[in-house]
A and B are shown apart, each in its own frame.
Chain A
Amino acid sequence: MSIRKRLIILMIFIGLAPTLVVSVVAYITIGTGLTHKTADQLVSTASEQQQRINSLLQKRQEQALELANTFDLQTNLGSYLASSGKLGKSQLQTTVQDTINSNPDIQNISLADLKGKIIASTNVQDDGATLGTQDTTMPNGQETTTTVREDQRDGIDKLYITTKVSVNKQESGLLSMVFRIDDIVAAVQDYTGLGATGETVVAVRDTQQHVISLFPLRFNTDAALKTNLDSLQLFSNYDSDYKDLKDYRGNEVFVAAKSIGFANWVIATKIDKSEALAQTDQLRNALIVIVAASSIIIAIIALYFTQFFTKPILLITEAAQRIGRGDLSTQLQLRRRDEIGTLANNINAMGASLKDFVASIEAQRNRLEIILNSTVESILAVDKQGTIILANKAAGELTQTPIHDIVGKNMSEVFRWRQDAEPFTIDYLQSGAKVYTDLQYVNPIGITHYVKLIVAEIKERQGKQTAQTIVTIHDETKGRELEAMKVDFVSMAAHELRTPLAAIRGYLELITFKAGNSLSPEADAYIHQALKSSTELGGLINNLLDVTRIERRTLTFNLEKIDLAAELKQSLEESAFTAKDKAISLNYSGLRVPSFVIADEIALHEVINNLIGNAIKYTDPGGKIDMLLERDGDDYKVSITDTGIGIPPEAQPNLFTKFYRVHGGLNSGSTGTGLGLFIAKSIIERHGGTISVVSKEGVGSTFIFTIPVFNEARFTSLQSEAQPKIIATRRHHGWITKNITR
């Protein structure tokens, strides 16, 4: 349910509740009061009427009693009765006649004996008639009977009062007086204080025990002595104040009943319930109108007032939604100083700062984009599924594909890596960072690129899972090409150098052969020196060529089963002279039994000679060089130890690299191109071995290399994949011949 609805309901509640409560309370209290007042009035009116009618009746009764107690009457009656009717009748007649003449409101007077037989009457016809039983029967404890009934003579209802006449304190006769009842009727018909529907009713119980109205009723003027008033329950308990009853019309009425005891009459005032409660109803209606009016007013106010709250909230909500959708220039125009105004201002401020924030992020992103697109390396971001989500300009150039065509494709679809002509797959989801070297990539137009890859994972913030992987591709093709060109140049140059060198050597040799002993010792020596230098030069050129072959991976070996021990011995013998020349002792220790390995004899020879040569070169005269051959598991280990100048620690890691010379520079006193150890390392490693050095400056150095022990199976497999077998009779450094008969 919306706030507005809630607010409206709340306001209505708050506004109406007091009104309702007050109205209900008022209705109950006042209403009850009003009703009580009406009832009380009814009762008091009933009392008044009772008294009035009572006094009227009593007046009549007294008139009767008065006459009945007249001495004359009593005496005359006594006479009449004693004389059995002979005496006194006329006196009686005169008495009654006199009385009626002096009391005009008496209609008729009749005197009768106890049996009811009329002795004297103002109605002459009645003489000798009998009084009705209703006149002759006194109710218990009563002196008189009081009835109202129709006078037969004129059809008018009259009041009949009969009283006993006592002669000498003995009941002897009955006196009956008839009165008009106009005054009583007038009293009864006085409806003051009884509103529009109220009336006074006077009722008696008739012979059938029905309750009959004695006089005309307000709403039924014909009701006298006829209409049944049973429904008013007047005789049941007429001491109660009022009751809810229905009257002769069927209307609900309130009744207040009183008794006129001596006449056995009940006099009651009644009023229609509707009239009695009219005021209460009026009050109720007024209150209802008030409550209804209040509700409407409150509802209207609520409807209007809630807008005061909800409209701005709606506006603010809309503004927030717009900001959420990206419209950051939204501004709320709410000129209010209250909390809602503050909220609106805050939202505006938030929108503005978001805008700034987004702008700064965009600036950063632009910067990043510029950086990314200005690198030489191709940079790609790859998601968990291996889909490319970002590619920089260089990546586009590498793949010769527009960047938007790369993004969205899977990494393995765009890049099919190869290594040495074999397909190479990369798991882009591995953790950490990995470097892949020497891979090839063929671009869509068929050009091969030599690349180095770095694949680095970016972890998800809290988890251990890869969120993204960054792939950096370094295109080394140009570098390789340059490298290849360099190697080609060196190779070409070396080859070119060989030709004149061969000539120089050749001629020098010829001189030595031809001249023989005719040369002077000096010339002989010079030529030999020249020859030696040219041989050295040849060696240097060979080194260069070896290096280029190593670089191009075209250095091939002719692998045979070689006796390592024998080779070592031979090298030793070859170097003996040079060592002796420098007064360095050269010793061999270790295995003297055939120790076979799989090796290229010439290459192996080169390595050993290089190591021995270095040892001699860097050892001062008087020093010692030891050569040791041992078996170390599946390898043979050769150690060449000298007592030379040693190698500084910082130089040791770089020893086996190309062109590195420990005491570089022209004044170092050391010769050599620095290639020897590089070539030695390449050869040894290609043979499946290792080479290393242990050295201490001023003490000496030990060079150690290993070669796997000869293995028949391996030899056979190598033979099968090797170059065409050269069946050689003689193989020496520089030439090979076969001995075939054709």
Chain B
Amino acid sequence: MAGLQKILLVEDNAQLVDIYLLFLKQNGFDVATAMDGDQALEVAKAYKPDLIFLDVMMPKKDGFEVLKLLRHEAQYNCVKAKIVLLTNLGDASKVSPQVHKDMDGYVIKAEIVLSDLLDIIKSLE
């Protein structure tokens, strides 16, 4: 898939939102943000992103729920979008097979540096 340009960042930690937003914008991406599951769905529907960075641990709906809805509900316009889960918990192997199928990637926030984000996006193109 060519150039992922529109990115939706779903993250409940304000500081991380700040950092990622700045970085991604600095690197020429269009970025929208949401800070909880419900907001994520609203924004996704309207914004129609190419790539979603989706935090797992969030209030109101958690990331897995949002993932399922985005992937399977056409109304959110993200059925074909790239969705990458963000977490600080352990392994990708911990997720359920359904989640595995639905997601396109898995990032452990504490273990990446900002520049990794660019590699991640590149690998999905």
Contacts and interface: CB of A to CB of B under 8 A. Distances in A.
Interface of A: 495, 498-503, 505-507, 509-510, 513-514, 538, 541-542, 545, 549, 554, 556, 558, 723-724, 726, 729-730, 732-742
Given A501-B110, A738-B104, A732 B119 contact: yes
16 contacts: A498-B88, A498-B110, A499-B13, A499-B109, A503-B15, A513-B23, A514-B26, A558-B93, A732-B116, A734-B116, A735-B105, A735-B106, A735-B108, A736-B105, A737-B104, A740-B104
Contact of B16 (A503, A541, A558): A503
A507 B84 contact: no
Contacts of B105: 735-738
A513 B105 CA distance: 25
A506 B19 contact: yes
Contacts of B1: 741
Given A506-B16, A507-B19, A514-B22, A737 B114 contact: no
B74 interface: no
B3 to A, nearest CB: 15
A510 B22 contact: yes
A507 B112 CA distance: 13
Interface in B82-113: 84, 88-93, 97, 100, 104-113
A735 B114 contact: no
A736 B92 CA distance: 8
B123 to A, nearest CB: 4
B119 A730 contact: yes
B26, B97, B104, most chain A CB atoms within 10 A: B104
A430 B117 CA distance: 62
Interface of B: 1, 13, 15-16, 19-20, 22-23, 26, 79-80, 84, 88-93, 97, 100, 104-116, 119-120, 123-124
Secondary structure type dominating chain B contacts: helix
Given A735-B106, A735-B112, A737-B120, 11 more contacts: A498-B88, A499-B13, A502-B109, A513-B26, A514-B26, A729-B123, A730-B119, A737-B105, A737-B106, A738-B104, A741-B1
Nearest to A535: B113
A55 to B, nearest CB: 167
Contacts of A737: 84, 104-106, 120, 123-124
Nearest to B80: A742
A506 B89 CA distance: 18
Nearest to B95: A724
A730 B104 CA distance: 11
Nearest to B23: A510
Contact of A542 (B13, B84, B111): B111
Nearest to A722: B93
Contacts of A507: 15, 19
A556 B93 contact: yes
Nearest to B124: A737
A70 B120 CA distance: 207
Task: With a 10 A CB-CB cut-off, give which of B110, B113, B115 has the most chain A CB atoms.
Answer: B110
A506 B93 CA distance: 26
Given A724-B97, A735-B120, A742-B79, A538 B90 contact: no
A558 B100 CA distance: 15
A495 B119 CA distance: 24
A535 B115 CA distance: 14
Given A724-B100, A726-B92, A739 B123 contact: yes
Contacts of B106: 735-737
A739 B16 contact: no
Contacts of B104: 737-738, 740
Nearest to B115: A509
A539 to B, nearest CB: 9
A740 B100 CA distance: 12
B19 A723 contact: no
Nearest to A549: B90
A509 B110 contact: no
A538 B93 contact: no
A488 to B, nearest CB: 13
B18 to A, nearest CB: 8
A730 B19 contact: no
Contacts of A503: 13, 15-16, 19
Nearest to A738: B104
Nearest to B26: A513
A542 B110 CA distance: 9
A723 B93 contact: yes
A741 B114 CA distance: 26
Contacts of A549: 90
Nearest to A501: B110
Contacts of A542: 110-111
B90 A545 contact: yes
A495 B88 contact: yes
A549 B93 CA distance: 13
Contacts of A726: 92-93, 100
Given A542-B111, A737-B120, A502 B16 contact: yes
A542 B112 CA distance: 12
B123 A509 contact: no
A513 B114 contact: yes
Nearest to A505: B113
A538 B88 CA distance: 12
Contacts of A738: 104-105
B23 A509 contact: yes
Contacts of A506: 15-16, 19-20, 23, 114
B92 to A, nearest CB: 5
Interface pairs A-B: 5 shortest CB-CB: A734-B111, A506-B19, A737-B105, A498-B110, A503-B15
Contacts of A739: 123-124
Contacts of B97: 724
A502 B110 contact: yes
Contacts of B23: 506, 509-510, 513
